[in-house]
Chains A and B, each alone.
Chain A
Amino acid sequence: MAGQSVYYNLMELMVCVASRQLEDAKTAVIGTGMPLAAAMLAQRTASPNLIVFFEAGSVAPQLERLPISVADSCTQTGALLHSSMDIIMEACQRGTVDYTFLGGAQIDMYGNLNTSMIGTDLQHPKVRLPGSGGANDLASLCWKTLVITPHDSRRFAKKLDFLTTPGYLTGPGAREAAGLAPGTGPYKVISTLALMGYDPETKRMRVESLHPGVTKEQVIKNTGFEMLFVDPLPTTAEPTMYELKMLREVVDPQGAVIGKGGTRQPKEVMELVEQALAFYQASGKEIALAEYATPKGRFAQQQLYVFALDLDGIMLAHGINERFAGKNFLEVKDSAGKPFVREILDIAKTQGSGWVEYKWYHPVTRRELQKSVYFKKIEDTIICSGLYKEEEDIYMLDLL
């Protein structure tokens, strides 16, 4: 995604990829968050007649804005039928519903999910999770189950601690043998690294495309079971301008799902870098660097701050960590092994400015988060500012 004129974040990519899986004139039971954004985007792009059901009872509403929960009052707007959970589930049981979206704490190679507990003993778990909710029913009854999830080896687990929600269970034929309807089952997984489907023979999870910038090795490293790959292995198509426009302006203008990172914040980051650059031009390098390094200085704005690198990767000033000053960052790699500082230098030298995305552990939550940095070169200094994705974005992925 580096150096491109169209900036988009990982959430936006995932929503777009998810929306493309939904065919027109089909039916879907949708939760909140990213799946709902995907369904609403699909309705505004290739699938205007996609019918959305909400578990709390609304059938085929005309959604004006992204509801906050499945029971949000605005899920009722313009609906064709108001009912309740059992009516929706009964429709699924009759075979009326094509798609559903789920998430989970763990998923295995057959697409089985765990939302019940982490640990080995249900009566004494390490962590007791919320439970099935409607997940078990939806995955049992809908024709095609899609999952949206972060991609790491704990989550893509070799063995589930608890099987809450059925995928292909133990492999080919197992769903039917257990008593589930033939032809139903897992369909796609949209993760932070790739789009996956299932091998028709073995019913095992299989990567169908890698998101831009992601390697096969990265997926292998972040998967607890042996992942299959299609050959040749394509790259996930990036969001189009039209998809991004619909997503940002119509579906989620508040940034509830795609994050403030998708709309307002990059602009703010770019403006901050411009301000820092103007200050550099007005006051000279020395004063500017001193100001950048002042923790409560004029360039420290809430979570945003600036830092400056020289053309060899030496940190000249850092807005929140003074100990970084003077250190060489040239060979620093992100948690996925990407030498992002080198990439910043390369783009700054050749194009003057740009964006680079990398993965970094959030200092508070210790979770791997996507970070984006914008930078602009002036003389022999590169002025940079970055942002983490909102914490909520990750939560949205966690629990549907």
Chain B
Amino acid sequence: MSVRDKRMSIKDAVSRYVQDGDSVYYGGFQIMVPMALTHEIIRQRKKNLTIFNASTDVGGLDLLVAAGCVKEVHLAWAMNWYVKAPYAIRRAFQAGEIQRFDHSNFGATTALLAGFLGIPFVPVRGNIGTDIVKHNTADLKIIEDPFSGEKITVARAWRADVAIIHAQKADPLGNVVAWGTRGVTDEFGAMGSKRGVIVTAEEIIDTEVVRSDPDRTIVPYFKTLAVVQCPWGAHPSACRGYYGLDIRFCQYQGKYERSADLLPKFLDEWIYGCEDHDAYLKKYVQMFGREGLDRLKPKSGFKPKLDIDYGYHDPAVWQGVPQYTDKYIRG
């Protein structure tokens, strides 16, 4: 919980805070996917990770699995939506290389909520009556509601060793700021993690700025392990206000994911062959032009019209103010 400057390179963040065999909360949904961190974990050839995630549609988990970093996934859905199949995960699963524990999206967010609340499980009215709960007894059980006696599913709390997330802004201390629709409530997975959070952010801002609009803080600094300034850190997924989904790149990457022979070439060219995320972006611009990235930027602004003022109140105004009294209430 130390107050210190936690800014560091993505390389240092991953090598210091992600250990082989860790369980990892993998943030994002189909937006805010921590892709730069995904690439760095692959680059550092981390092993035997257990992944907690609801759903990811840009193939980030496919890459992680294909690179041999993962031994176990707990999730609701996995696919590169833009090629319509979970190719690498499917191959690894069918070859017996990874274990897969199926959840539903709400089941998964409920498991994260339980971790966030710091309690062992939370009831959720889903998964009941299906084969999901029959097969994944590690994460789900059906119990009797102690009040009504009716049956209800409970989701075991997911508390990962470490969380990896992407956000719009963070300050050097590790206060994380995000806005817009975010897919999954990343703070559940982040705050519920045992050791803390690695965050990549589009921009680093002063703590004073965070304190000026604290409604948007999703993770306070004391839960943060490392802050990495990383523009385009969720690419090819979207980051609200900065860039939209790179559909063409998802399709391009997906065509590699399809083929067990081609996918290592993607890993070589786009991940192992790039020193860091900047190098990845340089390669992108080389191959697909600056306009490839420009196309992803918002066409126009979408700024709040709501005039927000939290107001400052000085307790000193009560100094010397006598107690209110009347004929019943005496001072």
If A71-B57, A128-B86, A131-B102 touch, whether A164 touches B131 (CB-CB below 8 Å) is yes
In the assembled complex, which residues on chain A have CB atoms less than 8 Å from the CB atom of B150?
179
Q: Is the CB of A86 within 8 A of B84?
A: no
In the assembled complex, which residues on chain A have CB atoms less than 8 Å from the CB atom of B86?
128-130
- Selected from B79, B106, B125, the residue in CB contact (under 8 A) with A86 is B106
In the assembled complex, which residues on chain A have CB atoms less than 8 Å from the CB atom of B258?
none
Q: Is the CB of A128 within 8 A of B94?
A: yes
Q: Is the CB of B185 within 8 A of A137?
A: no
Q: A77, A82, A174 — which one has the most chain B CB atoms within 10 A of its CB?
A: A82
Q: Is the CB of A136 within 8 A of B126?
A: yes
Residue interface mask A40-64, B partner, CB < 8 A = 1: 0000000000000011111000000
Residue of A nearest to B186 (CB): A84
Q: Is the CB of B180 within 8 A of A68?
A: no
In the assembled complex, which residues on chain A have CB atoms less than 8 Å from the CB atom of B84?
395, 398-399
If A54-B181, A55-B105, A116-B102 touch, whether A137 touches B79 (CB-CB below 8 Å) is no
Q: Is the CB of B129 within 8 A of A179?
A: yes
Task: Count A-B contacts at CB 8 Å.
Answer: 184
Binds A, one of B158-166, B203-211, B239-247, B260-268: B239-247
* Minimum Cβ distance to chain A for residue B170 (Å): 19
Binds B, one of A119-127, A202-210, A305-313: A119-127
B31 within 8 A of A: yes
Q: Is the CB of A163 within 8 A of B131?
A: yes
B54 within 8 A of A: yes
If A69-B57, A128-B93 touch, whether A179 touches B128 (CB-CB below 8 Å) is yes
Q: Is the CB of A136 within 8 A of B245?
A: no
Residue of A nearest to B247 (CB): A68
In the assembled complex, which residues on chain A have CB atoms less than 8 Å from the CB atom of B113?
86
Q: Is the CB of B90 within 8 A of A127?
A: yes
A133 within 8 A of B: yes
Q: How far is the CA of A76 from the CA of B86 in the complex (A)?
A: 27
A275 within 8 A of B: no
Q: Is the CB of A137 within 8 A of B180?
A: no
- Selected from A58, A72, A130, A169, the residue in CB contact (under 8 A) with B245 is A72
A85 within 8 A of B: yes
B121 within 8 A of A: no
* Minimum Cβ distance to chain B for residue A137 (Å): 4
Q: Is the CB of B126 within 8 A of A140?
A: yes
Q: B84, B89, B127, B181 — which one has the most chain A CB atoms within 10 A of its CB?
A: B181
Q: Is the CB of A131 within 8 A of B125?
A: no
Q: From DSSP, what is the main secondary structure of chain A's interface residues?
A: loop
If A57-B182, A68-B247, A83-B181 touch, whether A132 touches B102 (CB-CB below 8 Å) is yes
Q: Is the CB of B245 within 8 A of A164?
A: no
* Minimum Cβ distance to chain B for residue A104 (Å): 12
In the assembled complex, which residues on chain A have CB atoms less than 8 Å from the CB atom of B30?
56, 69-71
Q: Is the CB of A136 within 8 A of B188?
A: no
In the assembled complex, which residues on chain A have CB atoms less than 8 Å from the CB atom of B126?
89, 93, 136-137, 140-141
Q: Is the CB of A71 within 8 A of B238?
A: yes
Q: How far is the CA of A128 from the CA of B29 in the complex (A)?
A: 21
In the assembled complex, which residues on chain B have CB atoms less than 8 Å from the CB atom of A122?
131, 135
Q: Is the CB of B57 within 8 A of A76?
A: no
A282 within 8 A of B: no
In the assembled complex, which residues on chain B have CB atoms less than 8 Å from the CB atom of A395?
84
Residue of A nearest to B181 (CB): A57
- Selected from A57, A69, A134, A178, the residue in CB contact (under 8 A) with B76 is A134
Q: Is the CB of B131 within 8 A of A132?
A: no
Residue interface mask B28-50, A partner, CB < 8 A = 1: 01110000000000000000000
If A58-B181, A179-B151, A398-B84 touch, whether A136 touches B125 (CB-CB below 8 Å) is no
Q: How far is the CA of A79 from the CA of B237 in the complex (A)?
A: 21
* Minimum Cβ distance to chain A for residue B109 (Å): 4
Residue of A nearest to B142 (CB): A179
- Selected from B75, B129, B180, the residue in CB contact (under 8 A) with A178 is B129
In the assembled complex, which residues on chain B have CB atoms less than 8 Å from the CB atom of A85?
29, 54, 105-106, 109, 183-185
Q: Is the CB of B125 within 8 A of A134?
A: no
A188 within 8 A of B: no
A196 within 8 A of B: no
Q: Is the CB of A130 within 8 A of B77?
A: yes
Which residues of B183-218 are within 8 A (CB) of A? Answer: 183-185, 188
If A56-B183, A85-B29, A395-B84 touch, whether A136 touches B132 (CB-CB below 8 Å) is yes
In the assembled complex, which residues on chain A have CB atoms less than 8 Å from the CB atom of B245?
68-69, 71-73
Q: Is the CB of A133 within 8 A of B55?
A: yes
In the assembled complex, which residues on chain A have CB atoms less than 8 Å from the CB atom of B247?
68
Residue of B nearest to A130 (CB): B79
If A128-B93, A166-B130 touch, whether A137 touches B105 (CB-CB below 8 Å) is yes
* Minimum Cβ distance to chain B for residue A69 (Å): 5
B312 within 8 A of A: no
A270 within 8 A of B: no
Q: How far is the CA of A364 from the CA of B125 in the complex (A)?
A: 43
* Minimum Cβ distance to chain A for residue B54 (Å): 6
* Minimum Cβ distance to chain B for residue A162 (Å): 5
Residue of B nearest to A139 (CB): B126
A75 within 8 A of B: yes
B9 within 8 A of A: no
Q: B29, B100, B126, B298 — which one has the most chain A CB atoms within 10 A of its CB?
A: B126
Residue interface mask A386-400, B partner, CB < 8 A = 1: 000000000100110
B110 within 8 A of A: yes
B78 within 8 A of A: yes
Q: How far is the CA of A83 from the CA of B181 in the complex (A)?
A: 5
Q: Is the CB of A73 within 8 A of B185?
A: no
Residue of B nearest to A74 (CB): B244
A165 within 8 A of B: yes
A180 within 8 A of B: yes
Which residues of B225-280 are within 8 A (CB) of A? Answer: 237-238, 240, 244-245, 247
Q: How far is the CA of A68 from the CA of B185 in the complex (A)?
A: 22
Q: How far is the CA of A399 from the CA of B244 in the complex (A)?
A: 22
B288 within 8 A of A: no
A320 within 8 A of B: no
Sample (15) of A-B pairs whose CB atoms are under 8 Å apart? A56-B31, A57-B182, A71-B57, A71-B238, A77-B302, A84-B29, A86-B188, A89-B109, A93-B125, A125-B94, A132-B104, A137-B106, A166-B129, A175-B129, A179-B152
Contacts A69-B245, A76-B180 given; 10 further ones with Cβ under 8 A? Answer: A71-B245, A75-B181, A76-B181, A79-B181, A85-B106, A86-B113, A89-B126, A132-B103, A135-B104, A398-B84
